[in-house]
Structure 1
Amino acid sequence: MSIAPHLPHRSGTPTAPAPGVGFARDLAGWGGRRALVHDGRVVSYADLAGLVAERAERLGPVRRLVLLEMASDVDSVATYLAALAGGHPVVVVDAARPDVVAATRAAYDPDVVARGDALDERRPGTAHDLHPDLAALLSTSGSTGSPRLVRLSAANLQANAESIAAYLPLREDDLAALSLPLHYCYGLSVLHTHLLRGAGVLLSEASVVDPCFWAAAHEHGATSLAGVPHTFELLERVGLDEVAPATLRYLTQAGGAMSPARVRAYAELGQRRGFDLFVMYGQTEATARMAYLPPDLAAARPTAIGVPVPGGRFELAEVPGAPEGTGELVYEGPNVMLGYAEGPGDLGRGRDVHRLRTGDLARRGDDGLWEVVGRLSRIAKVMGLRIDLDRVERALVGDGVRALVASTPPTDGATEQLVVAVEPRADGGATRLLARVCRLVTAATGLPAAAVQVHAVAQLPRLTNGKPDHRSVAALAAPAPTGAAPPAPAQPETVRDVLSGVLGRPVGDDDTFAGLGGDSLTYVETSVRLEEALGHLPADWHLRTVADLEGGAVARTRRGRAVETNVVLRAVAIVAVVGTHANLLTLLGGAHLLLALAGFNLARFALGDVGRRERVRRLVAGAVRVVVPAVLWIGGTALLLGAYPWQTALLVNGFLGPPGWTEPAWHHWFVEALVLLVLGVAALVAVPVLDRTERRWPFWFPVALTLMALLTRYELVPLPDGDVIHRAPVVAWLLTLGWAVARARSTGHRLVVSALAVLTVPGFFADDARSAVVVAGLLVLTWSRQVRLPAAAARLAATLAGASLYIYLTHWQVYPHLEDDYPALATLLSLVVGVLAWRVATRAERLLRGTRRPGRPGPNFPLTRRKSPAHPA
């Protein structure tokens, strides 16, 4: 390609702008099609073209160097496209990093600094010699404020967009859900390819674990999702199969190697769900993309990067000492950068690079697919030994250690060392963990312990694009002698402290409450303590990672505390049960409402995105955690006081006890029904085809179960005579309805469960007021997941909800002595005794588990019962 002579342009010297980038110039041709969606705002191509034209006019006809503080919003995109369309070289930096903005501004002296639609025009023309091919300057993925930038031409940007669009199944009606930052070449490539094809991009600052991200994806019908390996780690926490919209057609993954097991898992999930997984390989130096793995090969060849993108070509360069058949991967194609820039003096240079040496060790398989096997720059020479840092890192991760590995260059006569960053353990074993990591590294590398530094960090450092930050790991190297003891582990953060204290388990930044095995036995205390610590707790906090919760912490700006609605309902119900039995008040319907709450919590905690066997284990464990205290207490009072028959103590009264309501045999009907129904759900999900069906239709599955359970509710299936409404088969529809409420993710879903509640509850009882209580509770739970209470009331509600099982079990032995003369005192003492019993049982459980920190978990499912046919609770 011949380059025309280029003369430097100074302020006030008008010149014709460069042709610009095609996809940025041709926006208007797509007319009224959807171009961008952001924060509920839909911008058409015609509207976007107008914004770009207005911004381009403000930038003027003289080519100038523009520094753009890029954010994921419409104004930033419009300014970026205006620069590309007008031929103004644009330096793209992260708007959220003022240190990087300042460093880049100082290093390159831009003519214009842009943030959103604001342009700070520092001079009317340019102070730089700008090469006519230069279009954009981007940081490499490892840069964090370094003045070194990648110089990309207009032809680079256009060619790579066309190349990617040639192998992706892009359609004009597509919408990419984009959580990747736009200062990152991968995020920009998604924008470029969709604008090239007239498709849309859903811009979001939210993480993929944020319900707002998925709410927008559902609302606007997102068809694709782009992510780096860390994105897919987070998706495992929320369960892509659960949160993804039905419109999803394909996923793309780049930004580093993803584990073969994870590639295979998402490829297989896609086969079941009907979407494709495109694993891709690229570098900023190649504009974005160099290779892709055809989706039909992802499950069979998860270690491969695939084939070159259209227009590209690979070859291997010899690397001394590399295994036979491997070499440095070299790429040629129209998307190869012009070269690097270290400062303003490089902006006038033309092409320096024609063939891109990627720095990756690779080989070509017999099937023609390319595979990256290592990284040249990740090969360290420590004490004369060549150490593959990636291999060491993979070995640690494979051994269950969350770690990153880097090396230090030799300085001042000191030898190069390995530096390992390890996340601290929350179980007090950090010192042992660091020693173990040191032993693993020395065994894997043959290095002496003096050449290995192991540091505990609160969380593994990552760049803003989600990639591991190995530079920060290397910076941990201690100046002390290499044989010195490792530094003390970092103290746990507040969220980690709460979760580890309540659950008694080690907690990492990517862990979630649900993923750690939390259930409704422990969620009450956890939710209240987290809300107190963070100032605000989102409705789906149990699915969010520790890092996301900490990053979203806000100062409390409103009085009181937000408490989950089901916690408040649970507390009110247990007070109503005790108060009704103690003749303090009459509030009926609590037991049946709490059965729906049990289904609500069952869906949230036991039926998460885990394997089928783990689901069954959680359900059975939940039932056991109700059965054990119930049988111990009921059996103990039966033996000591003769209070109950053996059928009640063994929770089989519904089958072997008296058919009609008889005191005290039927006192514990709710516990019995609850345990049987939970075990029934466990039996359902133990069947592979039913488990897969529930995952495929998480809302409609419990709705279908509810409709089936109505056969017994309306006595269309014959049942034995007796106290029918207190038996598990008859009340099953309430548990599955609560399950459906938990799965309701849209207004349509909520209308469905609301209609079921309104249509099926009335007529079940011979008391309209009791029906109204159950219906009202279900509607409140459906439409409002949180309520705000004064701090003292929030703590009281949490305590009563947490202790509800023990209040229910013990109150039978408390209130009868006082109900006739002192009903208020009878109620209060029943609540206090139950709370004390809960504290004792919790402490005993923690001691049995060997947990060092005392906690206060609540019951697995809310419990209450009915006093008699005349005074049911």
Structure 2
Amino acid sequence: MSIQPALAAVVFAAELARFGNRTAIHHDRGSLSYAELADRVESTARSLGPVRRLVALEAGNTLPSLVAYLAALTAGHPLLILPAGGGDAAAALIEAYDPDVVITSAGRESRVQERREGTGHRLHPELALLLSTSGSTGSPKLVRLSATGIQANAQAIAEYLGLRPGDVAATTLPLSYCYGMSVVNSHLAVGAAIALTDASVVDPCFWELMHARKVTSFAAVPYTFDLLERVGFAEMELPALRQITQAGGRLAPEKVRSYAQLGQGRGWDLFVMYGQTEATARMAYLPPDLAETHPASIGVPIPGGEFHLEPVPGLDASELVYTGPNVMLGYAESPGDLAAGRTVERLHTGDLARRTPEGLYEITGRRSRFVKIVGLRVDLGQVERKLTALGVAASVAGTDERIVAAVEGGHDLPMLAGILARELGLPRGAVALHPVEELPRLANGKPDYPAVLAMGGTPASADTSSPGSPSCPDSLPSAATRQDTVRLAIADALERGDIAGTDTFVSLGGDSLSYVAASVRLEQLMGTLPPGWHLMPVAELEALAGAPRREETGNKALRALRSLVPPMDTGIVLRAVAIVFIISSHIDLFEWQGTAHVLMGLAGYNFARFMLAGTRPERLRRQLRAVVRIVVPTVSIVALGLMVTEKYNWTNILLLNSLLGTPKFGTNEHFWFVEALVYILLGLAVLLAVPAADRALRRWPWAFPMALVGLDLLLRFDVIVLRMPWQGPMLWLFALGWAAAASRTAWQRAAVSAVTLLSVPGLFDNDLRNATIMVGMLMVIWIATIPVPRFLHRAVSVLAGASLYIYVSHWLVFPLFDKKYPALAVAVSLVVGIVYGTLATRAMNLAECFLANRRSGRSTESIPKEQP
């Protein structure tokens, strides 16, 4: 049975099947044709029943969410969009509007809750979509959009962007945001493809997707461009990219010009756009060929739309008014409003604008962004622009008593406040500036002006204290007085206090050692951590931590078992087990070799996770810092051993014994693993500092490490014979771990597994040793987490975090014990290594703080004396 579209059906959703076998959706488990997508949509639409009902959808960038979205549009069920992740905002909307059906995300599936048969609402026949207005997430005030308006806006966007069936758009914005939704609508309207992803542009996985799916466009809000600069976007080779679209707020003209020029040189177009939720999405666009010469303009109306300028009483300015088929039906503030028809014909945007001689429109201010202080009218947008001209990033709010500004970065706030007061002709006390690490923003990336205004109770413009060093907080509450939070967990793991919402664990300098400490703390806060959490912005982690945890479904016994034996990161478990096996084998408690080679593969896996984000200079600094943090504690132990035992020599001090020492294993070869790892890390730092190699890695993130595997296998199988350290070539194992982390498809993991199974046998004469390496590597490749009894989590994490320090220090510890007591020697070696790791890490953190303070000219007195 086919679903007959209701009066309110959206055409592009109802006619998906007309594009047949063209690819419609790329998702994490493959791709879906338009015909297959249409079948799923029809099936879901049928399950919603023949009676029009109010459907609430938790809209995430997942295939089940997208299918449910299209099914409701197809069957004519008015759709109330809830923010992804649930939480208080979604709960408030559900309570206010009492939907008939609620569809929420449940992993890879959707959970459908039918709250009643039929409907409890009177629904206007044109009503298709209900969206929160910009900045009012969770508010009962919603925008009522018609099916005609959604279709018209999708067609208009597709027309001015020149979309074609071969295009592929990445979902850089959430489906719950009208801008992100418009990307999906416009591409499906022309038979183009959607690459579903939740990855941020700071996540290397996003750029792998761009290459793998040949993505031709992605959408950006102003803040996205800050992130693009962080990851070295200007240097990336993206041959499939045709266009970048920008909306969601004003992008600084200099950035518009800069990215327009970059696009001209790289073969893609920048489309600056203007819109509001009340206009479904888009009202204007700036043709790419005008972006460089008119970067302050929003351009011209979209096809089918018109602008008018209406004078504003009391202001020497005009308001921008829009008409077109995509204008909303009106607002809804209660369920009773869902029966209303059109109450809005002309959309008063609230923006002040002018029309240039070239026929382009420019926004000059915001009608509601004016306050009147001591009889003087003040344009808050103009205050922001004044601060920008002074090189200050700020968000400005205000009342008729005071201007309040959040100011980012280290500035002399009293001086700035005085300058503003004089230029605006206001009393000095009417200007309050507040220092912030990062400007407060809403979930859609726009400035959070209510949050700025809330700062007005405690003005800080008179504070003359200098800001803390980025890496060394001046003061933080003691651990005994603080409530655990996401930021605090990461701050403690990295010993830094300057964590912003847009930072990620990796961008803050997190590595495989600090990852252990942070992940354990975060698991206590959030339960199971999302995959790739170390690459997620802190603000996203905070939102997940603050969201109500969903009640698990399924067998009660299984739920109880999962609570007693929750999962741990496989890498953490392997490191803990490996270090115990290594120490026990060396001390002859038992014999089980091969785990050190698993750790080499795991080192490559972690290298891919923590060392490859950011620009080339940032990566180089991060890689060299990792080398220093391996070399310093190792050399310190070797120096101590040389002084108290005379077992070692200068080749050990310089970590050159593998290259210059004897090929026979003995005392001098105790640190072969560290030497091999340092050689590999230094070699890769040099290699990836070469622009051509950097470009190759970005373009072929999986093939690049696999090529390194192939090169080193020539040494492994003696095709090329070189003098190698005692343990032989190690790069191939490291690169296999790297390739495992870079694998995004089952066939890539299968390929890495096949190379592992073919190359490890015969590495050693001991079959158990070879089997241990193969099993360990296969676990790294295929298994993300391992169930571990909850009472062991702390011990496992401590052992994993101290594994390097246990390894380098145990050589000096266990000889102090009688061979009759190997278990005691193992236990003491582990304890000493843990203590050494704590002291060494703290000392290196203090040294970094000291150097950072010296570079910034701060007094060393500001270095924290105890770990926060």
**Band of TM-score, shorter chain:** 0.7 to 0.9
1:536 equivalent in alignment to 2:547: no
Distance 1:586 1:223 in 2: 55
Pairing 1:591-670 to 2, within 5 Å after superposition: 591-608=596-613, 610-657=614-661, 659-661=662-664, 663-670=666-673
Select 2:580's aligned residue among 569, 575, 580: 575
**Number of the residue aligned with 1:4:** none
Pairing 1:654-803 to 2, within 5 Å after superposition: 654-657=658-661, 659-661=662-664, 663-720=666-723, 724-726=725-727, 730-803=729-802
Q: Cα deviation per residue 1:552-609 (whole Å; 9 max; x = unaligned)?
A: 344895213432222222222222222222222212223333222222222221222x
* Change over 3 Å in CA distance of 1:214–1:650 after alignment to 2: closer
In structure 1, the residue corresponding to 2:282 is in which secondary structure?
Answer: coil
Distance 2:69 2:373 in 1: 45
Q: Cα deviation per residue 1:371-416 (whole Å; 9 max; x = unaligned)?
A: 54543332333345554434555787999998643223x4xxxx2x
1:407 equivalent in alignment to 2:398: yes
**Number of the residue aligned with 2:509:** 517
Contact 2:8 2:76 in 1 (8 A): no
One-letter amino acid matched to 2:160: Y
How big is the shift at 1:246?
9.8
1:83 equivalent in alignment to 2:76: yes
One-letter amino acid matched to 2:864: R
Distance 1:277 1:493 in 2: 43
Select 1:526's aligned residue among 518, 522, 525: 518
**Number of the residue aligned with 1:167:** 160
One-letter amino acid matched to 1:677: I
How big is the shift at 1:500?
0.9
Pairing 1:449-460 to 2, within 5 Å after superposition: 450-452=429-431
* Change over 3 Å in CA distance of 1:218–1:671 after alignment to 2: closer
**Number of the residue aligned with 2:544:** 552
**After alignment, is 559-568 or 18-27 more displaced?**
18-27
In structure 1, the residue corresponding to 2:698 is in which secondary structure?
Answer: helix
* Change over 3 Å in CA distance of 1:382–1:592 after alignment to 2: same
One-letter amino acid matched to 2:685: A
**Number of the residue aligned with 1:14:** none
In structure 2, the residue corresponding to 1:717 is in which secondary structure?
Answer: coil
How big is the shift at 1:236?
7.8
Contact 2:208 2:698 in 1 (8 A): no
Contact 1:455 1:489 in 2 (8 A): no
Q: Cα deviation per residue 1:792-818 (whole Å; 9 max; x = unaligned)?
A: 432222222222222222222222243
Q: Cα deviation per residue 1:811-864 (whole Å; 9 max; x = unaligned)?
A: 2222224353222222222222222222222333344436638569xxxxxxxx
How big is the shift at 1:613?
0.9
How big is the shift at 1:477?
5.0
* Change over 3 Å in CA distance of 1:405–1:347 after alignment to 2: farther
Distance 1:37 1:58 in 2: 32
Contact 1:227 1:253 in 2 (8 A): yes
1:418 equivalent in alignment to 2:403: yes
* Change over 3 Å in CA distance of 1:468–1:121 after alignment to 2: farther
In structure 1, the residue corresponding to 2:643 is in which secondary structure?
Answer: helix
How big is the shift at 1:688?
1.0
Select 2:284's aligned residue among 285, 291, 299: 291
In structure 1, the residue corresponding to 2:757 is in which secondary structure?
Answer: helix
* TM-score, normalization by structure 1: 0.76
**Number of the residue aligned with 1:862:** none
**After alignment, is 777-786 or 805-814 more displaced?**
805-814
How big is the shift at 1:680?
0.8
Any unmatched runs of 5+ in structure 1? 1-16, 60-65, 106-111, 426-432, 857-873
1:379 equivalent in alignment to 2:370: yes
* Change over 3 Å in CA distance of 1:743–1:365 after alignment to 2: farther
Any unmatched runs of 5+ in structure 2? 1-5, 60-64, 104-111, 465-474, 551-559, 850-861
Structure 1 or 2, whichever has the larger Rg, is 1
How big is the shift at 1:124?
9.2
* Change over 3 Å in CA distance of 1:280–1:649 after alignment to 2: same
Distance 1:673 1:313 in 2: 67
Distance 1:281 1:206 in 2: 25
Contact 1:237 1:512 in 2 (8 A): no
Pairing 1:180-259 to 2, within 5 Å after superposition: 180=173, 184-199=177-192, 225-229=218-222, 251-258=244-251
Distance 2:45 2:163 in 1: 24
Contact 1:330 1:355 in 2 (8 A): yes
Contact 1:363 1:373 in 2 (8 A): no
How big is the shift at 1:648?
1.6
How big is the shift at 1:691?
1.0
One-letter amino acid matched to 2:540: D
Pairing 1:136-151 to 2, within 5 Å after superposition: 139-144=132-137
- Paired residue total: 795
In structure 2, the residue corresponding to 1:280 is in which secondary structure?
Answer: strand
Select 1:467's aligned residue among 428, 434, 446: 446
* Change over 3 Å in CA distance of 1:832–1:508 after alignment to 2: same
How big is the shift at 1:786?
1.9
Q: Cα deviation per residue 1:757-778 (whole Å; 9 max; x = unaligned)?
A: 2222222333333222222211
In structure 2, the residue corresponding to 1:820 is in which secondary structure?
Answer: coil
How big is the shift at 1:627?
1.7
Contact 2:510 2:610 in 1 (8 A): yes
In structure 1, the residue corresponding to 2:371 is in which secondary structure?
Answer: strand
* TM-score, normalization by structure 2: 0.77
* Change over 3 Å in CA distance of 1:570–1:243 after alignment to 2: farther
**After alignment, is 536-545 or 390-399 more displaced?**
390-399
In structure 2, the residue corresponding to 1:698 is in which secondary structure?
Answer: coil
Distance 1:489 1:799 in 2: 24
Pairing 1:7-26 to 2, within 5 Å after superposition: 22-23=11-12
* Change over 3 Å in CA distance of 1:800–1:273 after alignment to 2: farther
Contact 1:566 1:781 in 2 (8 A): yes
**Number of the residue aligned with 1:852:** 864
One-letter amino acid matched to 1:726: Q
Distance 1:183 1:523 in 2: 31
**After alignment, is 153-162 or 291-300 more displaced?**
291-300
* Change over 3 Å in CA distance of 1:798–1:267 after alignment to 2: farther
1:807 equivalent in alignment to 2:806: yes
One-letter amino acid matched to 1:852: P
In structure 2, the residue corresponding to 1:58 is in which secondary structure?
Answer: coil
**After alignment, is 584-593 or 395-404 more displaced?**
395-404
For the aligned residue pairs, the C-alpha RMSD in angstroms reads: 4.9
